[in-house]
Amino acid sequence: MEIDLSKPILDRNERLAAENRIELDRNGVFVLDLMASPGAGKTSTILATIAALRKRYRIAVIEGDIASKVDADKVKAHGIPAVQINTGGACHLESDMIKRALDVLPLDELDLIIVENVGNLVCPTDFYLGENSKVMILSVPEGHDKPFKYPGIFQISEAVILNKIDTMPVFDFDEEAFTAEVRTLNPKAPIFRIAATKGEGVAEWAEWLAARIDAVKASVAEKPGAGK
Amino acid sequence: MEIDLSKPILDRNERLAAENRIELDRNGVFVLDLMASPGAGKTSTILATIAALRKRYRIAVIEGDIASKVDADKVKAHGIPAVQINTGGACHLESDMIKRALDVLPLDELDLIIVENVGNLVCPTDFYLGENSKVMILSVPEGHDKPFKYPGIFQISEAVILNKIDTMPVFDFDEEAFTAEVRTLNPKAPIFRIAATKGEGVAEWAEWLAARIDAVKASVAEKPGAGK
Q: Considering only alpha carbons, which residue of chain A is nearest residue B168?
A: A170
Q: Which pTM was predicted?
A: 0.89
Alpha carbon of B212: minimum distance to chain A alpha carbons (Å): 29
For residue B119, list chain A residues with Cβ-Cβ distance below 8 A: 37, 121, 149-150
For residue A150, list chain B residues with Cβ-Cβ distance below 8 A: 38, 66-67, 119
Q: Considering only alpha carbons, which residue of chain A is nearest residue B90?
A: A122
Amino acid (1-letter code) at residue A185: L
Nearest to B23 by CA among B81, B103, B82, B112: B103
Mean pLDDT score across all residues of chain A: 93
Amino acid (1-letter code) at residue A19: E
3-state secondary structure of B61: strand
The pLDDT, as a whole number, for residue A6 is 56
The pLDDT, as a whole number, for residue A7 is 67
pLDDT in tens, A48-106: 999 999 999 999 999 999 989 999 999 999 999 999 999 988 999 999 999 999 999 99
CB contact under 8 A, B38 and A123: no
Nearest to B115 by CA among B105, B96, B129, B100: B129
**Mutation to test the A interface, candidates B2, B120, B185, most A Cβ within 10 Å:** B120
* Cα separation, B58 vs B56, whole angstroms: 7
Nearest to B162 by CA among B118, B115, B114, B201: B201
CB contact under 8 A, A9 and B5: yes
For residue A146, list chain B residues with Cβ-Cβ distance below 8 A: 38-39
Residue A117 has pLDDT above 60, yes or no: yes
The pLDDT, as a whole number, for residue A10 is 76
- CB-nearest partner of A68 from B65, B70, B149: B149
Tally of CB atoms within 10 A around B85:
22
- A76 Cα distance to chain centroid: 18
The pLDDT, as a whole number, for residue B223 is 64
Q: Which residues contact B42 (CB under 8 A, 6 or more apart)?
A: B34, B35, B36, B71, B116, B117, B119, B137
For residue A2, list chain B residues with Cβ-Cβ distance below 8 A: 9, 90
Q: What is the DSSP string of A7-71?
A: HHHHHHHHHHHHHHHHHHHHTT-EEEEEEE-TTSSHHHHHHHHHHHHTTTS-EEEEEEESS--HH
* Cα separation, A142 vs A124, whole angstroms: 18
B9 and A5 Cβ atoms separated by less than 8 Å = yes
Nearest to B86 by CA among B76, B96, B97: B97
* pLDDT tens track, chain B, 228 positions: 333 445 677 788 999 999 999 999 999 999 999 999 999 999 999 999 999 999 999 999 999 999 899 999 999 999 999 999 999 889 999 999 999 999 999 999 999 999 999 999 999 999 999 999 999 999 999 999 999 999 999 999 999 999 999 999 999 899 999 999 999 999 999 999 999 999 999 999 999 999 999 999 888 877 655 444
Give the whole-number percent of chain A exceeding pLDDT 70: 94
Amino acid (1-letter code) at residue A177: A
Report how far apart, in Å, the C-alpha atoms of A13 and of each of A9, A187, B4 are. Answer: 6, 28, 17
Q: Which residues contact A98 (CB under 8 A, 6 or more apart)?
A: A17, A20, A62, A85, A115, A129, A130
Cα angle, residue A85 at apex, residues B174 and A10 outer, rounded to 5°: 125
Interface of B with A (CB under 8 A): 1-2, 5-6, 8-9, 37-40, 65-68, 70-71, 89-91, 118-123, 139, 141-143, 145-146, 148-152, 164, 167, 170-171
Element (H, E) at B82: strand B82-86
* Cα separation, B34 vs A19, whole angstroms: 40
